[in-house]
Amino acid sequence: MTLLIGLLVVSLSVLLALAGLMLVRRLVPSTFFESRPEVSYTIYSAIAIVYGVTVGFAILLVWQELNEAERTTHQEATSVEALYRLADQLPESDRNRVQEFDRTYAQVVVEEEWPLMAKGQTSSRAQSATEELRRSIQEFEPQTMAESALYSQMLTKIDDLYENRENRLLETQEGVPPFVWVVLLLTGIITVAFTYLFDLKSSGVHVMRVATLTVAVSLSLYTVSVVEYPFSGDVQVGPEAFEMVQARI
């Protein structure tokens, strides 16, 4: 679906760009294109540089967000497994309670919350599971120094889980700032439209250059939009880290 939409976006962009070229060529006198072509090329070079820097920044931004979301997910899943392993050292009743809530949380995140995150939503059941897991740990009353150390470790891990969970949920809403999108679209349109002013003797060559540039501009913008949100679309962070933890515990 992403590929098909991308082809549609690029095709429509090329058609619009060529329609604009034909309109400008029909309405603007040919003498206008023949005057001071070196000035047009100089201005175009500056515009192209601004667009290249802007789109490069946007791609770097969304790629960093994708990598950060993946790192956060792995850390959260690691905390889930660590809590399960630490609970092995608890007395039986406490162990069973903590491990049960731990497994429940991992299951709800994979089966319910992950599909919701693709829509920018979260799972209330997953939130309840984290609270129950924390409560089950806090209800444990250590009797020895070893148990006190174990209790401290588990509290640290549940805090890590909470922190990474909050970061993951925040990352579902992160994307390219609206102002950057405005700059990207405007500079992309100006970059393509400015090529209409070039005086090329061959209409076929002019059409080919405008079409090629439009493909590059629209494809770069579509790439940013596809990777913009790290938990939705075809290019996204999946629940594989949690699934691996589920298999191990």
Question: Could you report the per-residue pLDDT of 124-166, keeping only the tens digit for each?
Answer: 999 999 999 999 999 888 888 988 999 999 999 999 999 999 9
pLDDT score, position 239: 92
Is 238 inside any structural domain?
Answer: yes
| Token duo for residue 112 | 């319910």
| Token duo for residue 33 | 């294109």
pLDDT digits (tens, 9 = 90+) for 179-224: 889 989 999 999 898 888 776 666 788 888 889 999 999 999 998 9
pLDDT score, position 71: 94
Is 6 inside any structural domain?
Answer: yes
| Token duo for residue 28 | 């603007």
Mean pLDDT score across all residues of the chain: 87
Is 34 inside any structural domain?
Answer: no
Task: Give the chain's largest Cα–Cα span.
Answer: 93
- The percentage of residues in the chain with a pLDDT greater than 90, rounded to a whole number, is 46
φ and ψ at residue 113, rounded to 5 degrees: -75, -35
pLDDT digits (tens, 9 = 90+) for 94-123: 899 999 999 999 999 999 999 999 888 889
Is 28 inside any structural domain?
Answer: no
The secondary structure of the chain in percent helix, strand, coil, rounded to multiples of 5, reads 80, 0, 20
Overall domain count for the chain: 1
Rounded-to-integer distance, Cα 132 and Cα 101, Å: 7
pLDDT score, position 30: 66
pLDDT score, position 48: 85
Give 109's DSSP letter.
I
Whether residue 191 contacts residue 51, with contact meaning beta carbons closer than 8 Å, is answered with yes
Kindly tell me if the per-residue pLDDT of 246 is higher than 70.
yes
Contacts of 32 (CB under 8 A, 6+ apart): 197
| Token duo for residue 173 | 């809403």
pTM assigned to the model: 0.80
Is 30 inside any structural domain?
Answer: no
CA atoms within 13 A of residue 172's CA, in its CB half-sphere: 20
pLDDT score, position 25: 79
Angle between helix 240-248 and 92-108 (nearest 10) = 150
| Token duo for residue 12 | 């429509």
Whether residue 214 contacts residue 14, with contact meaning beta carbons closer than 8 Å, is answered with yes
| Token duo for residue 154 | 């588990």
Q: Which helix or strand (DSSP H or E) is residue 91 part of?
A: none
Kindly tell me if the per-residue pLDDT of 40 is higher than 70.
no
Is 87 inside any structural domain?
Answer: yes
| Token duo for residue 84 | 């399960």
Give the range of the structural domain holding residue 233, as residue numbers without chain letter. Answer: 2-13+39-197+204-248
Is 33 inside any structural domain?
Answer: no
Is 21 inside any structural domain?
Answer: no
